[in-house]
Amino acid sequence: MSYCLATYRCFGEQTDFHKKAQGIAVGLTVGSWTDLPEAKKANMQKHLGQVVSVEIQEASASSPRYADIQIAYPDVNFSLDIPALLVTVFGKLSMDGQIKLIDLHFSERFLSAFSGPKYGIAGIRSQLGVHDRPLLMSIFKSVIGHDMQELASQFKQQALGGVDLIKDDEILFENPLTPIEKRVAACMQAAAEAEAETGQKLLYAVNLTGPTFQLKEQAKKAIDHGANALLFNVLAYGFDTLQALASDPEITIPVAAHPAMAGAMYPSPNYGIGASVLLGKLMRLAGADLVLFPSPYGSVVMPKEENLAIQQVLLTEELAKHYGYQTPQLSANKLKRSLPVPSAGIHPGLTPLILRDFGQDVVVNAGGGIHGHPMGTAAGGRAFRQAIDAVQQGHGLKEYAAQHPELQAAIDAWGLREN
Amino acid sequence: MSYCLATYRCFGEQTDFHKKAQGIAVGLTVGSWTDLPEAKKANMQKHLGQVVSVEIQEASASSPRYADIQIAYPDVNFSLDIPALLVTVFGKLSMDGQIKLIDLHFSERFLSAFSGPKYGIAGIRSQLGVHDRPLLMSIFKSVIGHDMQELASQFKQQALGGVDLIKDDEILFENPLTPIEKRVAACMQAAAEAEAETGQKLLYAVNLTGPTFQLKEQAKKAIDHGANALLFNVLAYGFDTLQALASDPEITIPVAAHPAMAGAMYPSPNYGIGASVLLGKLMRLAGADLVLFPSPYGSVVMPKEENLAIQQVLLTEELAKHYGYQTPQLSANKLKRSLPVPSAGIHPGLTPLILRDFGQDVVVNAGGGIHGHPMGTAAGGRAFRQAIDAVQQGHGLKEYAAQHPELQAAIDAWGLREN
Specify the amino acid at residue B188. Answer: M
Does any domain span residue A180? yes
Spell A326-360 as b/e; 16+ CB within 10 A means b.
Answer: eebeeebbebbbbbbbbbbbbbbbbbbbbbebbee
Q: What is the pLDDT along chain B (419 residues), one digit of tens a residue?
A: 899 999 999 999 999 999 999 999 999 999 888 888 888 888 899 999 999 999 999 999 989 999 999 999 999 999 999 999 999 999 999 999 999 999 999 999 999 999 999 999 999 999 999 999 999 999 998 889 999 999 999 999 999 999 999 999 999 999 999 999 999 999 999 999 999 999 999 999 999 999 999 999 999 999 999 999 999 999 999 999 999 999 999 999 999 999 999 999 999 999 999 999 999 999 999 999 999 999 998 766 799 999 999 999 999 877 777 776 544 454 556 899 999 999 988 999 999 999 999 999 999 999 999 999 999 999 999 999 999 999 999 999 999 999 999 999 999 999 998 77
Best to test chain A binding among B41, B167, B268 (most A CBs inside 10 Å):
B268
To the nearest whole percent, how much of chain A has pLDDT over 90? 88
Q: Report the largest interatomic distance among the alpha carbons of chain A, rounded to a whole angstrom.
A: 81
Question: Could you report how far apart the first and last alpha carbons of chain B are, in Å?
Answer: 48
Strand ranges inside A168-315, DSSP E: 203-208, 229-233, 255-258, 272-273, 290-294
CA separation for the pair A317, A4 (Å, rounded): 16
Does any domain span residue A271? yes
Assess contact for B365 and B386: CB atoms under 8 A.
no
Best to test chain B binding among A86, A271, A282 (most B CBs inside 10 Å):
A271
Does any domain span residue A171? yes
Instruction: Tell me which chain B residue has its CA closest to the CA of residue A345.
Output: B96
3-state SS of chain B is CCEEEEEEEEECCCCCHHHHHHHHHHHCCCCCCCCCCHHHHHHHHHHCCEEEEEEEECCCCCCCCEEEEEEEEEHHHCCCCHHHHHHHHHCCHHHCCCEEEEEEEECHHHHCCCCCCCCHHHHHHHHHCCCCCCEEEEECCCCCCCCHHHHHHHHHHHHHCCCCEEECCCCCCCCCCCCHHHHHHHHHHHHHHHHHHHCCCCEEEEEECCCHHHHHHHHHHHHHCCCCEEEEEHHHHCHHHHHHHHCCCCCCCCEEEECCCHHHCCCCCCCEECHHHHHHHHHHHHCCCEEEEECCCCCCCCCHHHHHHHHHHHHCCCCECCCCCCCCCCCCCCCCCCEEEEECCCCHHHHHHHHHHHCCCCEEEECHHHHCCCCCHHHHHHHHHHHHHHHHCCCCHHHHHCCCHHHHHHHHHHCCCCC
Q: Report the largest interatomic distance among the alpha carbons of chain B, rounded to a whole angstrom.
A: 81
Instruction: Tell me which chain A residue has its CA closest to the CA of residue B302.
Output: A95
Q: B136 and B42 in one domain?
A: no
**Residue B331: per-residue pLDDT:** 53
Does any domain span residue A311? yes
Check which CATH number belongs to the domain holding A44 and give it: 3.30.70.150
Q: A151 and A23 in one domain?
A: no
Query: DSSP for A345-384?
Result: S--GGGHHHHHHHH-SS-EEEESHHHHT-TT-HHHHHHHH
CA atoms within 13 A on the CB side of A287: 27
CA atoms within 13 A on the CB side of B219: 27
Instruction: Tell me which chain B residue has its CA closest to the CA of residue A100.
Output: B264
Contact B240 A95 (CB under 8 A): no
Return residues 129-148 of A near B (CB < 8 Å).
141-145
Assess contact for A287 and A113: CB atoms under 8 A.
no
Alpha helix stretches (DSSP H) within A36-179:
38-44, 82-90, 108-111, 120-128, 148-160
Specify the amino acid at residue A131. Answer: H
* Residues of A carrying an active site annotation: 92
Does any domain span residue A136? yes
Does any domain span residue A112? no
How many residues does this entry show for chain B?
419
**Average pLDDT in chain A:** 94
Q: A369 and A302 in one domain?
A: yes
Single residue among A58, A80, A105 that ends a domain in this structure: A105
Nearest to B171 among A28, A143, A212 (CB): A28
Q: A240 and A177 in one domain?
A: yes
Q: A28 and A175 in one domain?
A: no
Contact B95 A44 (CB under 8 A): no
Mean pLDDT (whole number) for A175-201: 95
Question: Could you report how far apart the first and last alpha carbons of chain A are, in Å?
Answer: 48
Q: A385 and A355 in one domain?
A: yes
**Residue B333: per-residue pLDDT:** 61
Q: Give me the residues paired with residue A54 across strands.
A: A69
Size of interface A-B (CB pairs under 8 A): 234
Q: B51 and B166 in one domain?
A: no
Q: B179 and B287 in one domain?
A: yes
* CA-closest candidate to residue A81, choices B221, B285, B218: B218
- Chain A CB contacts of B90 below 8 Å: 261, 263-264
The SS3 call for residue A165 is: strand
- Chain B CB contacts of A30 below 8 Å: 142, 144-145
Assess contact for A266 and A254: CB atoms under 8 A.
no
Nearest to B240 among A87, A237, A302 (CB): A237
Domain around B350:
120-414
Does any domain span residue A187? yes
Confidence band, pLDDT 50/70/90 cuts, at residue A40: confident
Active-site option among B19, B46, B92, B334 = B92
Assess contact for B139 and B167: CB atoms under 8 A.
yes
Best to test chain B binding among A1, A4, A28, A87 (most B CBs inside 10 Å):
A87
CA separation for the pair A376, A201 (Å, rounded): 21
Single residue among A79, A105, A131 that ends a domain in this structure: A105
Q: B131 and B88 in one domain?
A: no
Strand ranges inside A248-303, DSSP E: 255-258, 272-273, 290-294
Q: A146 and A92 in one domain?
A: no
Q: A307 and A187 in one domain?
A: yes
Q: Give me the residues paired with residue B11 across strands.
A: B66
**Residue B332: per-residue pLDDT:** 54
Specify the amino acid at residue B324. Answer: G
- Chain A CB contacts of B260 below 8 Å: 86-87, 91-92, 94
Assess contact for B335 and B320: CB atoms under 8 A.
no
Assess contact for B165 and B202: CB atoms under 8 A.
yes
**Residue B295: per-residue pLDDT:** 94
Confidence band, pLDDT 50/70/90 cuts, at residue A321: confident
* CA-closest candidate to residue B218, choices B188, B187, B185, B245: B245
Does any domain span residue B115? no
Q: Determine contact: B94 vs chain A, CB below 8 A.
A: yes
Single residue among B70, B105, B140 that ends a domain in this structure: B105
Check which CATH number belongs to the domain holding B216 and give it: 3.20.20.110
CA atoms within 13 A on the CB side of B87: 31
Contact A145 B170 (CB under 8 A): no
* CA-closest candidate to residue A260, choices A285, A236, A229, A290: A236
Mean pLDDT (whole number) for A38-61: 94
Strands of the sheet containing A290-294, edge to edge, are A339-343, A290-294, A255-258, A229-233, A203-208, A165-167, A135-139, A363-366
**Residue B300: per-residue pLDDT:** 65
Specify the amino acid at residue B86. Answer: L
**Residue A333: per-residue pLDDT:** 61
Q: A172 and A212 in one domain?
A: yes
Specify the number of domains making up chain B. Answer: 2
- Chain B CB contacts of A99 below 8 Å: 263
